[in-house]
Chains A and B, each alone.
Chain A
Amino acid sequence: MSATDSAEGPPQRTSRLVLALLALLALTALEVAVVSLPVDRTARITALCGLAMTEALLVLVTFLRIGRQSRLVRLAIFAPLVLGPGFGVALMLDAAFRVTQR
């Protein structure tokens, strides 16, 4: 288990790191562009969540090299990442239910 360029694995190629950086910058720009699109709010939120999750996954895989970590560490990192949005969705559904019951 290590941070970047894990001791257990070969070092990443610089070109791959640069590509990841460019992808992250492009995803950030896309996020800004998506929210100002003249489309349905739900579609914008879905796209925004998808872009943000892709960005987070890219950081986890490329910079933190999560694939090379032990199963326990992966679980410890993914649990809040999965539970967070899960609770968020549950709260939104709850809010929508309450609004319809008023």
Chain B
Amino acid sequence: MSISDRPSPGVKAVLSPGAMSTSAAGAAALDPRSHAEAATGPSVGQVGMWVFLATDAMGFAGLLMAYAILRVHADQWPDPQERLAVLQAAVMTGLLVTSSFTMTMTVRAARAGRAGARALWHATTVVLGVAFLGGQALEYLHLASGPHGMGLATDTFAGTFYAVTGYHGLHVLVGLAILVGLFVAPRVRVRSLEVASIFWHFVDLAWIPIFAFVYLLPVS
């Protein structure tokens, strides 16, 4: 990314007064400006999202690092597979990964100007995201009311588990709020969908090490 006084065409498209206006006409329609914008370079939103995600990735890395330090230095660490529903978490992983695929299809349909297909893929992504969050809520409920009665302060394992998965869950919630907002918006710009998709793919990406290291990593 080169730094220049002159904004790229894509940046210009976003900064131009016309690009900032919105219209309430035509529910869930694609903004006609979208096609012109799609053919240009990066937008301010995309650059901003990448910068935000670079810092957010550090947040996830810090949490996983803290988890690793606490786990390595603990005298005893319970087997995650005994406490956690690994198969359920695997299904949740599948849902999130599939939602990344449907999000990609959403952007593709929007770029092609197919509003109907875009709405269908978009709705599927939202449903998959809600299913993931629902699975996480059920998991928390089961853990809290199960035989171990695993609360936030039960032990270090429980504390780190809730912190790491809860932090990720909040990201999913924010991503869903953005997706729902875009879904119900009267007009949707491809640029907005692209920025949202970057965030959504990142949420998917962040879950992969969580699933591997929190749910699956075997104890000695």
Contact = CB atoms under 8 A, between A and B. Distances in A.
B197 interface: yes
Nearest to B54: A76
A1 B191 CA distance: 12
A3 B197 contact: yes
A95 B73 contact: yes
A10 B220 CA distance: 48
27 contacts: A1-B46, A3-B107, A3-B197, A5-B108, A7-B38, A17-B104, A24-B97, A28-B90, A28-B93, A31-B90, A41-B220, A44-B218, A52-B212, A59-B97, A59-B201, A63-B101, A63-B201, A69-B50, A70-B2, A76-B57, A80-B58, A80-B60, A84-B61, A84-B65, A87-B68, A91-B68, A95-B72
Q: Chain B interface: which size bin?
A: 35 or more
Given A1-B1, A3-B46, A48 B201 contact: no
Nearest to A96: B72
A17 B73 CA distance: 41
A51 B68 contact: no
B195 A51 contact: no
Contacts of A3: 46, 107, 194-195, 197-198, 201
